[in-house]
Amino acid sequence: PNLQEFYRRRTIETLAQVDPNDPRLKEVPQEFHSIWPLDAEGTDHRAGGSFGHPSTLYKVISSADGKAYVCRRFDTVRSPTKVAMVAEQTWTAIRHAGIVALKEIQVRPSGVFFLHAFHPGARSLKSRIQGSRQGVQEATVWSFLCQIGGAIRTAHLAGAALRCVDATHLIVTPDARFRVSGVGIYDVIEFESSARKNLSDLQAVDIASLGKLALSLAVGAVIVDDVPAIRQGIEILRHNFSANLCRCIEALISRPVTLGELGSLMADSLMAEVGFWQSACDALDDNLSREFENGRMIRLLLKLGCINERPDQDMDVQWSESGDRYTLKLFRDFLFHQVDENMKPVVDFGHMVHSLNKLDVGENEQILLSTRDSRHIIVASYADLKQKLESAFLDLYRNQNPVKQAAAPAPMRQRGGRPHLGRMGSRGPAMRPNPAVSPVPGVPGGMPVGMGMAGL
């Protein structure tokens, strides 16, 4: 899949928000903003929801850490704060890739709020099955069993029961990941009945539900506790899937299965699943290394942008036009303002990326930097330019307002589109700075941007 498009869509869903005057903003605690409703259109919030009580579901962003969460609000539930604290302590300590992490539980006079991690693009397993109306390939069923089986194992070893292993509360994300959502909710909203239930019985329900959901995924129909439907599904399974998968699902549905038996039933598929995700990690690591190259370049460009032709009024107006800063200005022309032998502009990303990489590592290779009127030529190495860049930026940073220096970096004002840097193009023919471009007299207008040193 196209990773750029994948992450772009995730960002769009994460940043989606209702109108600032929308009355629903009052339905979530004040420490959250950028809310977006996640319930299906036309949902009657007065009726009992998927947990048996009326609730509303929103995507929110926390003002404390800037992260997106799913906030589920129950208006009619009244639970002791101590019960919520126990559930929060239990489930915030349980971490597994197949469990949607619980952030916190808030008990307020207006209702009970559950905050879980937000996974953009997720939809329920029920909508996935009903939307396709046909079974999936065997490899997908085994992947589902391994992912959710691992989540069940982690929860059970921690002395808890998921209680949400059903088609409504299992979610599927675009990266082929299955997760159990809503953990900890039943522990709070049904605390009285939960105290009377045996933990081993609740854990047995988790494992049996895993088998029913795997069967539902294989045959393309949601199967719950309907015995004739289960028998019909098993027949379809025997005719279209391997004996190992049939044996595994039948065992999960028909009898109590321990965690050890669960691992044995899925042993072969677990090894295949590990190999698949290791290959996926290798591919992501390769893409991450490319993005890391882009990050190095953008840091250099940010520093150059802060220094070149800076219009500060409280510093020397010629600061950016003298000494080492003037050399950096000529390097900027060498980098971006190339022309060919006919004085036509040349846009060569290969030359830009190649030069920025050499500047970043500080190579000893020397280049010729020409003034815009072609009267003067300066010979400088990339190592010299790197030293001048670091020195000029440090000088600029030290001369900023001490109050702003101690505070968090101010947000930058975006001008134009986001630059795309990558491994593209070639160095092409020999090029030189454009002498036809006359220098800008005086101090150019613009808005100086305050920056912090973190990451630079």
How far is the C-alpha of 308 from the C-alpha of 396, rounded, in Å? Answer: 11
**For residue 317, is pLDDT > 80?**
no
How far is it, in rounded angstroms, from Cα 366 to Cα 395? Answer: 25
Per-residue pLDDT of 295-310, as tens digits, reads: 788 889 889 888 887 7
Do the bridges between strand 32-37 and strand 102-108 make them parallel or antiparallel, or are there none, so unpaired?
A: unpaired
pLDDT at 226: 84
Is 1.10.510.10 the CATH classification of the domain at 3-257? Answer: yes
The predicted structure's pLDDT at residue 145: 95
Give the pLDDT confidence of 109-152 residue by residue, as tens digits. Answer: 888 999 999 999 999 999 999 887 788 899 999 999 999 999 99
**Distance set, CA 228 to CA 206, 208, 222, 223, 233 (Å):** 21, 16, 13, 10, 9
Instruction: Assess whether pLDDT exceeds 80 at residue 406.
Output: no
Task: Please determine, for residue 417, whether its predicted confidence score (pLDDT) is greater than 50.
Answer: no
| pLDDT at residue 432 in the model | 39
Q: Which residues of 118-137 are buried (b: 16+ CB within 10 A; e: fewer)?
A: bbbebebbbebbeeeeebbe
Quick: pLDDT tens for 45-57: 666 678 888 899 9
**Alpha-carbon distances of 445 from 110, 129, 328, 372, rounded to whole Å:** 52, 59, 19, 20
Contact 115, 69 (CB under 8 A): yes
Residue 196: the pLDDT is: 81
Rounded to 5 degrees, what are φ and ψ at 231?
-65, -40
pLDDT digit string, tens, across residues 205-260: 999 999 999 999 999 999 888 888 999 999 999 999 999 999 999 999 998 999 99
Confidence of residue 315 (pLDDT cuts 50, 70, 90): low
Percent pLDDT > 70 in the chain is 84
Q: Give the tens place of pLDDT for each residue, 338-374.
A: 888 888 888 888 888 889 989 998 999 999 998 877 7
- How confident is the model over 175-212, as pLDDT tens digits? 889 999 999 999 999 988 877 889 999 999 999 999 99
Which CATH number is 294-311+319-399's, of 3.40.1280.10, 1.10.287.3700, 3.40.50.2300, 3.40.190.10?
Answer: 1.10.287.3700
Tell me how far apart the alpha carbons of residues 269 and 137 are, in angstroms, rounded to a whole number: 14
434 pLDDT above the threshold of 50: no
pTM: 0.72
Contact 180, 170 (CB under 8 A): yes
Q: Is the pLDDT of residue 433 over 60?
A: no
93 phi and psi angles, rounded to 5 deg? -85, -15
Summarize pLDDT for 247-293 with one digit per residue, the tens: 999 999 998 999 999 999 999 898 889 998 999 899 889 888 877 77
CB of 50 within 8 A of CB of 168?
A: yes
Residue ranges per domain, the chain? 3-257, 294-311+319-399
**Percent of the chain scoring above 90 in pLDDT:** 52
